[in-house]
C-alpha cells in the first residue's frame, strides 16, 4: 500500500505519535484526502514538491508542499491531493510534548504549514538532506531520532514542559470529557497560567484542544462499537445534544456526522483514522 505507519522506539513514543511513509508511485490516480484535526503537529520530507498538495480549507485550491514542511495544529478539516508520480515521502505525527524538539513558536503554526527553512535550525536542515538521500525507512527514522535525542535535555528539565505533558495525558485519559475550569482545579492552576501553557506548547486555547480530543475520542468510539445510533454516540461522548454534536462535526470535518461516517475514504484516510483510534 502507498501509505504505511511506523511505530517509534519506546524512548520516542512519548514525543512521536507515529512515523509514516508514502510511495506515490503506487497510486494509479490522484488521491484526495480530507484530513481532520487530531491534536498532533506534523513534519514531512518529500522527494518531489509536485507530489503532494495542501489547501488551507476545503474550499480553496491546493498548493504544493515544500520539500520539508512543518505543520501546526488544525482546528478544521484540510484537503490534501496526493499525485501519481515517482516520489516518496517520510513524515512524523508529533505529539504536543514533542513539538518543542523542533520549534518554540507553535502559535504561528495554527492551521498552517511552513518550510523548515523558517525555523533557522541548521542541524535540522542537515537532517533534511540526509533523510532525502536515505534509501530505507529504518535509516530515515534513525536520522530523525538522533536529531531528537540531541534536543531532549532542553525540554525534559523544563518544569512547564513536565506540567503540560501531565495535563495533556490527563485530557486523553478523560477522552476530552472534562470542562476547562475543572481541569484547572485538578492541576491547581489559574486560567491565565493554563492558557499560557497551552499557547506555548500547543498553539491553541485549552477549550479548543479539549474539544478536538473529545471529537477524536468520539470517532474512536464509533470505530470500536460500530453503533448505528448517532444520538447515542453523541451523549456517550459528552455532547450536550444533537445540535451540539452536529455543530462540532461541521467545525472539524466540514461535514455532518452522518456524511462523515458514510464517506467513501481513500486508503490513507482510513489509516489516519486508525491512527486516531489506536490512542484509546
- Say if CB 221 and CB 239 are below 8 A apart: no
Q: Distance (Å, rounded) from C-alpha 273 to C-alpha 113? A: 21
Supply the CATH classification number for the domain 159-277. 1.10.10.60
Asked if residue 16 has pLDDT above 80, the reply is yes
Q: How much is the pLDDT for 61?
A: 80
236 or 23, which is more confident: 23
Q: How much is the pLDDT for 155?
A: 83
Q: How much is the pLDDT for 58?
A: 64
75-122 pLDDT, tens digit per residue, is 999 999 999 999 999 999 999 999 999 998 898 899 999 999 999 899
Q: Is the dihedral of CA 214, 156, 72, 53 positive or negative?
A: negative
Domain boundaries of the chain, sorted by first residue: 3-154, 159-277
115-157 pLDDT, tens digit per residue, is 999 998 999 999 999 999 999 999 999 999 999 999 998 887 7
- Say if CB 145 and CB 8 are below 8 A apart: yes
Burial class of 12 by CB neighbour count within 10 A (0 to 12, 13 to 18, 19+):
buried
Q: How much is the pLDDT for 228?
A: 75
Q: Distance (Å, rounded) from C-alpha 175 to C-alpha 198? A: 17
165-193 pLDDT, tens digit per residue, is 999 999 999 999 999 999 999 999 998 99
Taking the C-alpha atoms of 129, 130, 135 and 141 in order, what is their torsion angle to the nearest 10 degrees? -120
Cell of 123: 542541524
Cell of 18: 507515529
Report whether CATH 1.10.3470 matches the domain 3-154.
no
215-265 pLDDT, tens digit per residue, is 999 999 999 887 779 999 999 999 988 999 999 999 999 999 999 999 999
Indicate the average pLDDT of the chain.
94
Asked if residue 209 has pLDDT above 90, the reply is yes
Asked if residue 57 has pLDDT above 80, the reply is no
Task: Name the residue among 119, 25, 13 with its Cα closest to residue 68.
Answer: 119
Asked if residue 270 has pLDDT above 80, the reply is yes
CB atoms under 10 Å from CB of 3, counted, come to: 21
DSSP assigned state of 54: E
Mean pLDDT of 18-47: 97
Amino acid at each position: 500500500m502507498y501509505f504505511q505507519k511506523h511505530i517509534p522506539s519506546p524512548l520516542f513514543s512519548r514525543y512521536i505519535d507515529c512515523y509514516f511513509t508514502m510511495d506515490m508511485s503506487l497510486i494509479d490516480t490522484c488521491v484526495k484526502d480530507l484530513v481532520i484535526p487530531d491534536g498532533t503537529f506534523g513534519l514531512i520530507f518529500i522527494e518531489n514538491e509536485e507530489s503532494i498538495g495542501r489547501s488551507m480549507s476545503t474550499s480553496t485550491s491546493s498548493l504544493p508542499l515544500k520539500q520539508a514542511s512543518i505543520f501546526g495544529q488544525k482546528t478544521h478539516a484540510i484537503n490534501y491531493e496526493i499525485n501519481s508520480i515517482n516520489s516518496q515521502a517520510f513524515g512524523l505525527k508529533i505529539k504536543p510534548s514533542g513539538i518543542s524538539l523542533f520549534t518554540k513558536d507553535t502559535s504561528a503554526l495554527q492551521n498552517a504549514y511552513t518550510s523548515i527553512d523558517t525555523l533557522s535550525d541548521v542541524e535540522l536542515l542537515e537532517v533534511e538532506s540526509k533523510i532525502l538521500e536515505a534509501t530505507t525507512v529504518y535509516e530515515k527514522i534513525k536520522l530523525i531520532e538522533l536529531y531528537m535525542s540531541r534536543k531532549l535535555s532542553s525540554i525534559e528539565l523544563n518544569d512547564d514542559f513536565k506540567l503540560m505533558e501531565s495535563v495533556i495525558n490527563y485530557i486523553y485519559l478523560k477522552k476530552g470529557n472534562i470542562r476547562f475550569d475543572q481541569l484547572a482545579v485538578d492541576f491547581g492552576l489559574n486560567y491565565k497560567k493554563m492558557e499560557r501553557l497551552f499557547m506555548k506548547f500547543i498553539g491553541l486555547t485549552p477549550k479548543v484542544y479539549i474539544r478536538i480530543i473529545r471529537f477524536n475520542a468520539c470517532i474512536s468510539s464509533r470505530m470500536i462499537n460500530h453503533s448505528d445510533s448517532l444520538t447515542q454516540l453523541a451523549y456517550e461522548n459528552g455532547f450536550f445534544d444533537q445540535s451540539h454534536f452536529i455543530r462540532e462535526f461541521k467545525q472539524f470535518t466540514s461535514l455532518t456526522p452522518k456524511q462523515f461516517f458514510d464517506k467513501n475514504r481513500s486508503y490513507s484516510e482510513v489509516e489516519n483514522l486508525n491512527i486516531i483510534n489506536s490512542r484509546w
